[in-house]
Chains A and B, each alone.
Chain A
Amino acid sequence: MKQKFDIIESTCVPLPLENVDTDQIIPARFLKATTRDERFFGENLFRDWRYRPDGTPVKDFVLNNPVYGGEILVAGRNFGSGSSREHAAWAIAGYGFKVVISSFFADIHKNNELNNFVLPVVVTPEFLQELFDSIAADPKMKVRVDVPNQTVTNLATGRSESFELNAYKKYCLMNALDDIDYLLLQKDKIEAYEQQ
């Protein structure tokens, strides 16, 4: 959902696996929905890791562990690989995450997160490992993501890094504007291009 980003300070949900693909984030059978009901997708986020085929929760999966919670998902490298399904970003947003921290994101999924007002924050592998360690030591530790200053801080250790976000997208996130709003204002330029 369109929302204004500023400073987010939250506990984290850790998922220290690499190559988490979008088929795991939201399995294909949930792609048959014809509406953008984020709550529905959120309820089925990581469905097959979260629930057994009979619908009972898998106790040791992190989303079922009441110790962990918050608006920040922390994942291993190459998060969101595979399918272009935006449903994966809808599921992450629908579950209530505003930020995903990883050392590496797949391209299409990263765009999909940004287009759904979920902020992908790329950190160094060292920062990521320290963050996993901090969460393991204290699940209640918090991370601060400062969008205006483009910094991410592990509040348990004080370690801070800056992250990339282009000026255009930053403006969009801080003002709750999307790309379509922008493109619809460009009709003259599009027609001029077509004439050339």
Chain B
Amino acid sequence: MNTLFDKIWDAHVVQHVEGGPDQLYIDRLYCHEVTSPQAFDGLRARGIRCLRPEKIFCMPDHNTPTENQDKPIEDPVSKKQVDALAANTAEFGLTHYGMNDPNNGIIHVVGPEKALSLPGMTIVCGDSHTSTHGAMGAVAFGIGTSEVEMVLASQCILQQKPKSMRIRVEGELGKGVTAKDIALFLMSKLTTSGATGYFVEYAGSAVRSLSMEGRLTLCNLSIEMGARGGFIAPDETTFAYLKGREYAPKGEAWDQAVEAWKRLKSDDDAVFDREVVYDAAEIAPMITYGTNPGMGMSVDGTIPALDQIPSEGQASFSKSLNYMGFQPGEKLLGKPIDYVFLGACTNGRIEDFRAFASLVAGRQKAPGVTAWLVPGSQQVKREIEAEGLDKVLAAAGFEIRQPGCSACLAMNPDKVPAGKYCVSTSNRNFEGRQGPGSRTLLASPLTAAAAAVTGVITDPRELL
């Protein structure tokens, strides 16, 4: 009567600390340049090395420019941070995929596509979107820099075991409704703290029907409901995706691995601390109107009126709408937008570019719209070119940039100017997230594409 979460977690407990957390063994640590330098400093200060360097993979992604990656980074502060990762990984003997390396990309895109993230693993990274890797059937979660230092030093982390929650989405998704819309829908129902304290297992026929790319998008956004992580039990879709990838087991080892992975599921009588069920037919293409990802609605919906908000939340709600330049009770359809961003660890995979290209094919980018199309990795960029999507997009007035986190959090030069509206496939619409004063509307690649060709917020179903 165990949940899959229990099974994976319990199998990794080195010991239970008296009166405290579990000491959890970590199979895979990923490091990027932003949340690791102080952890490496900590190792140096203590005079220690990494316990298991072969289990650790590092790459810069947050600061990397999306143009001219063959040249040195112009921003000296960004350059220093990216250089620090290269120097630290060399000093501690860790694998490093530097900028412009054919293996580089956003850490949460690269890990799955190279099969570095496998079913049954425990995976951590100093990044809240580490939950992405849960799509492989792994227990994956974001940690702070002190915890990165713990894992670098001991391949373990001290962690209180979260509670378990199952979210089932049953039925068939409607036209133009994607994994991103499922996630935005769940956040709008559960709020950004609705799953705090829980690890989420996604299940149900609508979740099962998702491709691996879709599952990665859904698990990516678990943290935006407050969950420690979210995962999907591995199945034939998972195995088909992994087979033949660089770090996937090969030959006999593959067959044995698949046999073991097939056992990775919650028991039929498993008890979850909380369970919720939604009907896929209820979900429409979604968009956010506020400054947290839970402030979402169907793209043709209406922003709530102030009196629909509980009194203790009204100050935050009003501050949020004031920042966005929207009024309570108004619709967003038809409102002009300035920027479109396709990319990030949320929607920077090949399927996202296929979806975007399918909608803009035969149409033209609206005048006045700036569009940033940023592949999640070098591998995704190669796939875009191999499939000829770059040509379809170019004919519609769009160009493909070089991979990185880009305008998701604007640590590189891709910043949305103050007051401008950006329909973005990324994961957060916080104040200033895409640049000081920027206004972010989170949506799927299809909804972003619809806005890109019309110049206004548009229901993508009208263009499909």
Contacts and interface: CB of A to CB of B under 8 A. Distances in A.
A158 interface: no
A182 B21 CA distance: 12
Contacts of B128: 82-84, 108
Nearest to B310: A18
Given A81-B193, A180-B150, A18 B316 contact: yes
B272 interface: no
Contacts of B226: 78, 81, 106-107
Interface stretch (A5-13, A30-38, A138-146): A30-38
B336 interface: no
- B23, B46, B142, B146 — most chain A CB neighbours (10 Å): B146
Interface string B196-209: 11000000000000
Contacts, number: 186
Nearest to B428: A82
Nearest to A109: B144
A66 interface: no
A189 B23 contact: yes
A167 B20 contact: yes
Given A32-B411, A53-B418, A179-B150, A166 B160 contact: yes
Given A81-B292, A84-B144, A187 B154 contact: yes
Interface in A139-185: 166-169, 171, 178-180, 182-184
A148 to B, nearest CB: 15
Interface string A52-86: 01000000000000000000000011100111111
A178 B146 contact: yes
Interface string B64-78: 000000000000011
B38 A179 contact: no
A111 interface: yes
Contacts of A27: 432, 436
B460 interface: no
Given A48-B431, A77-B193, A169-B20, A190 B14 contact: yes
Contacts of B147: 111, 115, 179
Of the four ranges (under 10, 10 to 19, 20 to 34, 35 or more), the interface on chain A belongs to 35 or more
Contacts of A77: 193, 312
B175 interface: no
A1 interface: no
Contacts of B313: 18
B143 interface: yes
B38 A36 contact: yes
Interface in A88-109: 89, 104, 106-108
A166 B196 CA distance: 18
Contacts of A34: 37-38, 80-81, 84
A86 B15 contact: no
A34 B436 CA distance: 22
Nearest to A183: B154
Contact of A190 (B51, B410, B428, B433): B51
A112 interface: yes
A18 to B, nearest CB: 5
A104 B78 contact: no
B315 interface: yes
Contacts of A85: 34-35, 144
A166 B78 contact: no
A125 B312 CA distance: 10
A116 interface: yes
Nearest to A166: B20
Interface string B214-230: 00000000010010100
- A19, A166, A190 — most chain B CB neighbours (10 Å): A19
A108 B144 contact: yes
Contact of B409 (A19, A28, A106): A28
17 contacts: A31-B411, A32-B63, A32-B81, A53-B418, A82-B223, A85-B35, A86-B146, A108-B128, A111-B159, A115-B144, A115-B147, A166-B160, A178-B146, A180-B146, A183-B154, A186-B14, A186-B23
Interface of B: 14-15, 17-21, 23, 25, 34-35, 37-38, 41-42, 46, 48, 51, 62-63, 77-78, 80-81, 84, 126-128, 130, 142-147, 149-150, 153-156, 158-160, 162, 192-193, 196-197, 223, 226, 228, 292, 312-313, 315-316, 319, 409-411, 418, 428, 430-433, 436-437
Interface of A: 16-19, 21, 23-24, 27-29, 31-32, 34-36, 48, 53, 76-78, 81-87, 89, 104, 106-108, 111-112, 115-116, 125, 129, 166-169, 171, 178-180, 182-184, 186-187, 189-190, 193-194
